[in-house]
Amino acid sequence: MKISLIQMNSISDKAQNIAAAVRLIELAVAQENPDWIGLPECFDFLGGDRADKMAAAETFPDGPAYRAMQELARKRKVFIHAGSILEKAEESERIHNTTVVFDRDGAEIARYRKIHMFDITAPDGTEYRESAAFAPGKAVVTYLCDDMIVGCSICYDIRFPELFQALVAKGAEMIALPAAFTLQTGKDHWEVLCRARAIETQTYFCAAAQTGAHVAGNQTRHTYGHSLVVDPWGHVTAKASDGTGIVSTRIDRAMVKKVREQIPVARHKVGFA
C-alpha cells in the first residue's frame, strides 16, 4: 500500500487552510497516486483565541472541511485520514479535536476524538491549555483500510503508550498520528517518540505534522514539522524536510508479521499488580 503524508502550515483562516489541504492532496494524487493520505492535526484551523476556535468549529457532516475531504476521497478514489478538524461538541463550552476518515467512496469509516489534552508549560515558559477549549474523547478507534487495520491517535497522545497498546489489542498494524508538535518539544522528542511507539507496537507509525508559525492570541507559536513514517522495526522510511509539502512511501503488512514473529512481545507480556 502506498501512503502520502501532507505537511501543512495552517493558520487561523479556515477557508485558506481547506484550500491548501485540497491543493496538496490533489498534488499528492497527481504525483504519487497513493492509496491512503494523512493530514496533520487541526489542518482546518490552527491558532486564534478560544472564541475563534469555537467559531471555526463545525458540525459533521455539514461543515466545509468535512465536505471537502469527503468529496476528494470520492473523486480521487483514495482513503483520506483527515488529520483533525475542530468539531462542535454537545456541551456548548468546549469543542472536540476530531479525526474523520473517509474511504474511496467518500463514506465516513472512522471518527476519533483526541483523548489526551495538551496542558503543559514549555521550556520557555509558554503555557498550553488545550482543555480550556477542547473536551477529550474516550473511545479507542481503529478502521480497515483495504486489508490493513489502522489505529487513530492525535499529537499529545503519543506520550501515553497505553493508548497504542490498546490500538494493537484491537488489531492495529499501522497507526496514524496527525500532529502540531511545538518546535521546542519537537526538536528533542518528536522522532524518538515516533520511533519508540513504532518499535513497541511493531506497527507502521505514520505522523503527518504542522510546520512553521501561527498566531495564537497574542503569541506567535512555531510547530516542528518533519512528518515521517517509521516501519515496525523502528527505521524512518520517509521524512519531510522543512516547509509545506508531501512525503510518500510504501508499507507492507508482511513486514508487520515478520517483526512480530522475530520478537513476539505480545506473547511475552506479563501483568503487574
pTM reported for the whole predicted model = 0.97
Q: Can you give the C-alpha Rg of the chain in angstroms?
A: 17
What is the DSSP track for 195-230? HHHHHHHTSEEEE-BBEEEEEETTEEEEEE---EEE
What distances in angstroms separate CA 76 from CA 24, 35, 180, 229, one per listed residue? 13, 10, 26, 23
What are 111's strand-pairing partners? Answer: 100
Contacts with 182 (C-beta within 8 Å, 6 or more apart), sequence order: 122, 128, 221, 222, 223, 224
pLDDT at 116 over 80: yes
Give the model's confidence band at 125: pLDDT under 50 very low, under 70 low, under 90 confident, else very high.
Answer: confident
CB 5 within 8 A of CB 143: no
CB 54 within 8 A of CB 133: yes
Provide the mean pLDDT of the chain: 96
Average pLDDT on 99-123 reads 96
Average pLDDT on 175-185 reads 97
CB 87 within 8 A of CB 112: no
The vertex-156 CA angle with 152 and 157, nearest 5°, equals 40
Contacts with 247 (C-beta within 8 Å, 6 or more apart), sequence order: 4, 5, 7, 227, 228, 229, 238, 239, 240
Locus of grid cell 508549560 = 121
Contacts with 244 (C-beta within 8 Å, 6 or more apart), sequence order: 7, 8, 9, 20, 24, 211, 212
pLDDT at 91 over 80: no
Catalytic residues: 41, 114, 155
Average pLDDT on 223-242 reads 97
pLDDT at 273 over 80: no
Give the model's confidence band at 70: pLDDT under 50 very low, under 70 low, under 90 confident, else very high.
Answer: very high
Locus of grid cell 512525503 = 247
Give pLDDT tens digits for 256-272: 999 999 999 999 999 88
Give pLDDT tens digits for 41-56: 999 999 999 999 999 9
Relative to beta strand 174-176, strand 148-152 is parallel
How much is the pLDDT for 272? 85
CA distance 15 to 212: 18
Domains, the chain, in order of start with CATH, read 2-264 (3.60.110.10)
CA distance 125 to 109: 40
What percentage of residues in the chain have a pLDDT greater than 90?
94
pLDDT at 123 over 90: no
pLDDT at 92 over 80: no
Give pLDDT tens digits for 127-165: 899 999 999 999 999 999 999 999 999 999 999 999 999
Contacts with 20 (C-beta within 8 Å, 6 or more apart), sequence order: 8, 10, 244
Give the model's confidence band at 197: pLDDT under 50 very low, under 70 low, under 90 confident, else very high.
Answer: very high
How much is the pLDDT for 177? 99
What percentage of residues in the chain have a pLDDT greater than 70?
100
pLDDT at 166 over 90: yes
Determine the 3-state secondary structure of 143 from DSSP: strand
Give the model's confidence band at 242: pLDDT under 50 very low, under 70 low, under 90 confident, else very high.
Answer: very high
CA distance 79 to 188: 32
Average pLDDT on 196-212 reads 98
